[in-house]
Structure 1
Amino acid sequence: MKSEKEKMLTGVYYNACDEELVKEREYAQDLNFDLNNIRPSEREKRQEILKKLIIAKGAVHIESPFNCDYGYNIEVGENFYANYGCTILDCNKVKIGDNVLLAPNVQIYAATHPTNPIERLAGKEYSKPISIGNNVWVGGGTIICPGVKIGDNVTIGAGSVVTKDIPNNVIALGNPCKVIKSI
């Protein structure tokens, strides 16, 4: 029998109120609180908190406020930057490549709920992994939905809602987000 955490990470229905998951979210929320309430000039303390919260391969700069569910499911590459108001619901893996820039208020949602109201009212949830390639710029106010893969060398226009995969070397925008130009 899989634990609720194992179910969450494999993309099947799970109970988010499971004691282990609640404790892990509270731990991440405490780290988010610390990060969001530290002076911007205290760079070393900010980096210490980020090392406890997410998996980073290199230089990371995240402006406050920043929020995530668990943190341990977020992996970022070299030279990552997230501007003010970033939220990552990392109920599943969120892998972000090198040289990625997130403009203000970018939302990345690996978490989702059933569309069937009976299942939803029963408290069922599930999640899908998200992947963002290298050299990607995501415009302000963009929402990246569960299960989406964004390729390398992509620009996502501000205010986009990314519901489907975006290939390499394109500019995409809109709601729903669509490729408008190859680069």
Structure 2
Amino acid sequence: AGCTILDSASVRIGDGSMLGPGVHIYCAEHHRDAELRGAGLEVARPVKIGRSVWIGGGAILVGGVSVGDGAIIGAGAVVTRDVAAGATVVGNPARPVRAG
């Protein structure tokens, strides 16, 4: 419910993965150089989400990230880097939670 997928590049979501309400997936990025950004140049990078991934409500995934099978992304996390299979990440920017 209420998810946004800005798919200017490919977005792949594996079987059995679950997205909570308000998850945002952004493939598009604007150029870092102000002049090029002003010219409307946009970069698009794909997002890949593996199988059986659980993404909590309000999480954001930016372009170019891959989420491994069975990973968990905590509610409100901002994923700016790849997430390993089976890992749990939380926070902004998202960081792995230590087991134990």
Task: Give the deviation of 1:126 after TM superposition.
Answer: 1.2
Distance 1:177 1:134 in 2: 19
Corresponding letter in the other structure for 1:151: G
Give 1:181 shift: 3.5
Whichever residue aligns with residue 66 of structure 2, its letter is K
- Aligned-residue Cα RMSD (Å) equals 0.9
Which secondary structure does the structure 1 equivalent of 2:42 belong to? strand
**Which residue does 2:20 correspond to in 1?**
103
Gapped runs of 5+ residues in structure 2?
none
In structure 1, distance between residues paired with 2:98 and 2:44: 30
Counterpart secondary structure, 1:112:
strand
The 8 Å contact of residues 145 and 163 in structure 1, kept in 2 or not, is answered as yes
Deviation string, structure 1 residues 121-149 (Cα, Å, up to 9, x no partner): 01101100110000101001000000000
Query: Which structure carries more helix by proportion?
Result: 1
Aligned to 2:43: 126
Instruction: Give the corresponding residue for 1:147.
Output: 64
After TM superposition, the runs of 4+ consecutive aligned structure 1 residues lying more than 4 A away are none
Q: Secondary structure at the match of 2:36?
A: helix
Q: Partner of 1:88: helix, strand, or coil?
A: strand
Count residues in correspondence. Answer: 99
What are structure 1's unaligned runs of at least 5 residues? Answer: 1-83
- In the alignment, the residues of structure 1 paired with residue 50 and residue 94 of structure 2 have an alpha-carbon distance, to the nearest angstrom, of 17
Does 1:164 find its partner at 2:81? yes
The normalised TM-score by structure 2 is 0.96
Tell me whether 1:89 sits opposite 2:6 in the alignment. Answer: yes
On the 8 A contact 1:97/1:135 being kept in 2, the answer is yes
Structure in which a larger fraction of residues adopt strand: 2
Distance in 1 (CA, whole Å) between partners of 2:66 and 2:6 is: 15
Between the two structures, name the one with larger relative contact order (CA 8 Å, sep ≥ 6). Answer: 2
Distance in structure 2 (CA, Å) of the matches to 1:129 and 1:95: 8
